[in-house]
């Protein structure tokens, strides 16, 4: 993926403040951080969405996140973290190389929980939830 900046960072063709390296995954500081210590965890291979990553990469990605979170919290003295993926352009993804955001949070920082990312909320009753759950289940088969 010639023009992808995260591929270029992974190949050391562009600079980054790298904080983690493993066989399939790297992590570096977000250049335009939402908070001190805002870190991006990135598969070395180019995949646009999480569901396109091979299972071994998805496992390595989550393993890296789990290892990085306490290190980041300690480094910037954070009280908590939000962890999330903008998975597709409708969800706000700007760089089409899948990545996980780790955003440190601090008591009284004025930020919001992850529930704040969605748009208009649907009004669903129990039957609606049942039908949606069933549809998801069908697609897993």
Cα separation values, 128 from 14, 77, 97, Å:
48, 43, 34
Indicate whether 98 belongs to the interface with ligand AMP (CB under 6 A): no
Per CB under 6 A, which region of 23-31, 45-53, 70-78, 104-112 contacts ligand AMP?
23-31
- Cα 88 from Cα 140, distance rounded (Å): 20
- The reply to whether 139 belongs to the active site is no
Nearer to ligand AMP, 63 or 93 (CB): 93
Shortest Å distance, C-beta 125 to ligand AMP = 33
Indicate whether 92 belongs to the interface with ligand AMP (CB under 6 A): yes
Nearer to ligand AMP, 119 or 122 (CB): 119
Indicate whether 16 belongs to the interface with ligand AMP (CB under 6 A): yes
Total chain residues near ligand AMP (CB under 6 A): 12
Of 17, 38, 47, 99, the catalytic one is 99
The residue whose Cβ lies closest to Zn ion is: 4
Indicate whether 94 belongs to the interface with ligand AMP (CB under 6 A): yes
Q: Which residue in the set 1, 74, 114, 129 belongs to the binding site for Zn ion (CB under 5 A)?
A: 1
Indicate whether 76 belongs to the interface with ligand AMP (CB under 6 A): no
Cα separation values, 140 from 50, 64, 130, 133, Å:
16, 26, 16, 11
- Cα 7 from Cα 42, distance rounded (Å): 9
Partners of residue 138 on adjacent β-strands: none
Q: Which residue has tokens 């399939």? A: 24
Q: Name the residues annotated as catalytic.
A: 99
């Amino acid at each position: 993926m010639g023009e992808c900046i995260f591929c270029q960072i992974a190949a050391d063709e562009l600079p980054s403040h790298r904080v983690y390296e493993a066989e399939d995954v790297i992590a570096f500081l977000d250049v335009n951080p939402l908070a001190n210590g805002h870190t991006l965890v990135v598969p070395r291979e180019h995949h646009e969405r999480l569901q396109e990553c091979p299972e071994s990469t998805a496992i390595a990605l989550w393993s890296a996140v789990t290892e990085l979170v306490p290190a980041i919290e300690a480094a910037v003295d954070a009280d908590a973290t939000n962890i999330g993926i903008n998975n597709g352009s409708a969800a706000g993804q700007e760089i089409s190389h899948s990545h996980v955001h780790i955003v440190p949070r601090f008591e009284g920082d004025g930020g919001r929980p992850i529930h704040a990312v969605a748009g208009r909320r649907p009004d669903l009753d129990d039957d609606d939830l049942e039908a949606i759950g069933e549809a998801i289940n069908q697609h897993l088969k």
